[in-house]
Structure 1
């Protein structure tokens, strides 16, 4: 067998496979964020990732749900690594703000590290609109030891709140966190594509806007969620 027809070395094949998987995940994350999960086919993801084979997504990941889980787990590694030392610094605290900071900052710091443009915050918001996929996110999230500790610490400081009201406020907090991060990511993406005068263009209209930073959003979210959890109960 001549060198020209020799199969690639195992190491080269592994590297190529990893690069293909990464390209597919990046393309899927962007398309799902921009169009919604149900509106995007595996074939479209493969094409956006530069794959000529229509079955590339199925070959490397299996189902669309498997692909979504892979994207979530990829980002979860960094978020988990950020949360763990934060929890160590507040362990035993009776201040609800400490536990809320541990809930908010690992995600906003991760989003900030992604730079602009990025799509993961908007990807999360899209996935959360699908009941089955939302259950998938919960399942994966609750397998995180650090998140479990975070939620237990938060609950301990809010234990005086009746269970039904506590569940409602937890739903409100989740909506605020997911969708405000999605909005900030979108604004930063738009702001990165300005006309050179600090203005971005949307729907044919020139808009002056200060997109703000992830750090500012994190501070605002901690303030808002602290207020939500400590608000008076009138029912």
Structure 2
């Protein structure tokens, strides 16, 4: 039995050929795990529960296809990262050499918001990321994974060339704050879209514009003298 979580659509694509069955099962497990982790938190959901919710008779299906829960979390991230990476690479090609801080911050914000917009509603990816980022060990693995992206490195390099010189601890703090803004504002919009509640912005595009404004302001804000 499938709920309206995207799993049914995955099952509908399963063909009779045995050669495709493994990849279809893997995709179904990814979709189901993403939804459950987004709704309940990564720690609260076991691999067995993911397998059961995905309609798998083998309760060890997750372990068979992915290994550990941490490996499953990384696989979900990678399922979305190709689209985000492609969008960021295209944006970076358009802003090469730009002296405008807003252009570089946009390259860090808009690839994610555009990808989320492409998923339609309901979606669970933004809330999944927010849940993962509150988990100490999974957070480190996911952040380390993200920073292997050459386009993300290029975006940060371009941004840091234009921000004022800051003490290292302030720079790290503002980098963390910018990431938290992006992660949690996207998660809040995704949740509101599913629940049909009021939104501060009418579209993902306007959400991105607000985030770019806020993050640019964050980097340009003065630093209070510290003893």
Say yes or no: TM over 0.5: yes
Counterpart in the other structure of 1:33: 38
Contiguous gaps of at least 5 residues in structure 1: 1-10, 192-199, 201-208
Query: How far apart, CA to CA, are the structure 2 residues paired with 1:175 and 1:59?
Result: 33
Where in structure 2 are the equivalents of 1:11-22 lying within 5 Å? 12-22=17-27
Query: How far apart, CA to CA, are the structure 1 residues paired with 2:57 and 2:39?
Result: 22
Counterpart in the other structure of 2:223: 233
Find 1:214's aligned residue among 198, 204, 227. Answer: 204
Query: How far apart, CA to CA, are the structure 1 residues paired with 2:163 and 2:30?
Result: 38
Query: How far apart, CA to CA, are the structure 1 residues paired with 2:100 and 2:155?
Result: 13
- Using the TM superposition, give the Cα deviation of residue 159 of structure 1 relative to its aligned residue in structure 2, in angstroms: 4.8
- Using the TM superposition, give the Cα deviation of residue 96 of structure 1 relative to its aligned residue in structure 2, in angstroms: 1.1
Where in structure 2 are the equivalents of 1:190-201 lying within 5 Å? 190-191=195-196
Deviation >4 Å, runs of 4+: none
- Higher Rg: 1
Moved more, 163-172 or 30-39: 163-172
Structural RMSD (CA): 1.3
Check 1:178–1:210 CA distance in 2 against 1; reply closer, same or farther (3 A cut).
closer
- Using the TM superposition, give the Cα deviation of residue 155 of structure 1 relative to its aligned residue in structure 2, in angstroms: 1.2
* Deviations 1:80-123, CA, capped at 9 Å, x for gaps: 01000100111112211111000000000000000000000000
Find 2:185's aligned residue among 180, 186, 210. Answer: 180
Query: How far apart, CA to CA, are the structure 1 residues paired with 2:60 and 2:171?
Result: 45
* Deviations 1:141-178, CA, capped at 9 Å, x for gaps: 11111001111111111252222211111111111111
Count of residues in Structure 1 that have an aligned counterpart in Structure 2 = 209
Query: How far apart, CA to CA, are the structure 2 residues paired with 1:159 and 1:51?
Result: 54
Query: How far apart, CA to CA, are the structure 1 residues paired with 2:106 and 2:89?
Result: 12
Counterpart in the other structure of 2:12: none
- Using the TM superposition, give the Cα deviation of residue 231 of structure 1 relative to its aligned residue in structure 2, in angstroms: 1.0
For residue 157 of structure 1, give the secondary structure of its aligned residue in structure 2.
coil
Where in structure 2 are the equivalents of 1:65-214 lying within 5 Å? 65-191=70-196, 209-210=198-199, 212-214=202-204
Contact 2:189/2:199, CA 8 A, preserved across alignment: no
- Using the TM superposition, give the Cα deviation of residue 125 of structure 1 relative to its aligned residue in structure 2, in angstroms: 0.3
Query: How far apart, CA to CA, are the structure 2 residues paired with 1:176 and 1:101?
Result: 14
Query: How far apart, CA to CA, are the structure 1 residues paired with 2:151 and 2:51?
Result: 34
- Using the TM superposition, give the Cα deviation of residue 14 of structure 1 relative to its aligned residue in structure 2, in angstroms: 2.7
TM, length-normalised to structure 1? 0.86
- Using the TM superposition, give the Cα deviation of residue 139 of structure 1 relative to its aligned residue in structure 2, in angstroms: 1.3
